[in-house]
Amino acid sequence: MPSIRLLPVQDRARLTKAEPVVKWAGGKTRLLPELTARLPEDLGRYYEPFLGGAAMFLSLQPAGAVLTDINEELVHLYRTIQSDVEALIDDLDRHRYEAGYYYAMRAQNPRRLAPIARASRTLYLNKTCFNGLYRVNRRGEFNVPMGRYKNPTIGDPERLRALSEVLQGCEVVATDYATATATAQRGDFVYFDPPYFPLTRTSSFTSYTKEAFAADDQRRLAETFDDLTARGVRCMQSNSDTPFIRELYRHHRVEAINAPRAIARDPERRKSVSELIIMNY
C-alpha cells in the first residue's frame, strides 16, 4: 500500500467539510489542534480503532482508512451512511421527539430491525437521549433516559452526505482494537482514543459497551501499543493523566496537555484537566 501524505495544514480547506454526526463521550473536536500538531509527516495507512464520533478521522480524511469500534450499533450506522445515505435521510423524517415515542424506540431490539431502521434508531436515540450518552445495561440494552432539548435535529442531511462521501473507500468494521490493528504494517499510523482510565474511582464513564474498560483492559492496550511499536507501526494515544497510565507508557514519548472537559452538566466539573498524548515516534 503506497503511503498517503496528509495535505499540508494550509491546504486542508480543500477537504470535504465533514463533522461528526453523533454526539459522543470523549469527542476529540476541541483537542484536534494539539493532536494534529503531533502527527508524523507520512501516515501510511490510517487506523482509528476507537472510532466514536470520528473527529480525528474527519479532520484528516486519509484515503483507505481502517475505521473500527466495538459498538455494533455505531458501526452499523456508519456503514449505512457509507452505503445508503439517501435511504437513511428519508427514514429520519418519521421520528418524533416525545416521551412515548422515545421509550418505544429505546425498547426495540436493534438486531431485529431492517438495516435502515436500525441505523435510523441509533441516530434518533443519540440526538434525543440525555447528554448524547451511549450506555447499556449488563444485557447490552441501551438504557439512557430521554434528554431535554428544544427542537433536536436528528440528522442534518448535508452533514450525513458529507460523511458518506468521506467514508467511501474506507473499511468500517465492528471489532476489538487488537483485531483491528493486527493488519497494520511498518509505516502505518494508528490513533488510539480508548475510554480513559478514571481520574478517581467514581469519575469513570466507561460503559460505552456492556464490557467496561478497566485497568486490565488498559494493560492489554499497552501490550498492543508495544507490539505495534516493535512492528514499526507509528501510534498515538490519548488517555487520562494518571500515574497508572504514565507508568504503562514510561518507555514512550508522553506529553501532557490541557483539555477542556465536555460531558459533565455541572460547569464546575467542566474545568480543563490535564490529559496525555502518548507517541511511539
Please state, in angstroms and as integers, the Cα–Cα distance from residue 193 to each residue in 263, 274, 281, following that order. 16, 15, 17
State yes or no: residue 132 binds ligand SAM (CB under 6 A).
no
**DSSP H or E stretch at residue 55:** helix 55-60
Q: Which is nearer to ligand SAM, 91 or 184 (CB)?
A: 184
Instruction: Quote the CA–CA distance of 278 and 203 in Å, as a whole number.
Output: 22
Q: Which is nearer to ligand SAM, 91 or 278 (CB)?
A: 278
Instruction: Quote the CA–CA distance of 116 and 103 in Å, as a whole number.
Output: 19
Return the residue matching grid coordinates 463533522.
19
Give the residue, chosen from 142, 192, 197, 208, that forms a contact with ligand SAM under the rule CB under 6 A.
208
State yes or no: residue 72 binds ligand SAM (CB under 6 A).
no
Min CB(44)–ligand SAM separation in Å: 20
Instruction: Quote the CA–CA distance of 221 and 216 in Å, as a whole number.
Output: 9
State yes or no: residue 177 binds ligand SAM (CB under 6 A).
yes
State yes or no: residue 193 binds ligand SAM (CB under 6 A).
yes
Torsion of CA 243, 24, 134, 72, to 10 degrees: -100
Give the residue, chosen from 4, 21, 26, 43, that forms a contact with ligand SAM under the rule CB under 6 A.
26
Min CB(41)–ligand SAM separation in Å: 22
Min CB(281)–ligand SAM separation in Å: 20
Provide, for the chain, the percentages of residues in helix, strand and coil under a 3-state DSSP scheme, each rounded to the nearest 5.
40, 15, 45
**What string marks each residue from 40 to 69 as x (binds ligand SAM by CB under 6 A) or -?**
---------xx-xx-x-------------x
Instruction: Quote the CA–CA distance of 172 and 190 in Å, as a whole number.
Output: 15
Positions touching ligand SAM (CB under 6 A) are 24, 26-28, 49-50, 52-53, 55, 69-71, 176-177, 193-195, 208-209, 213
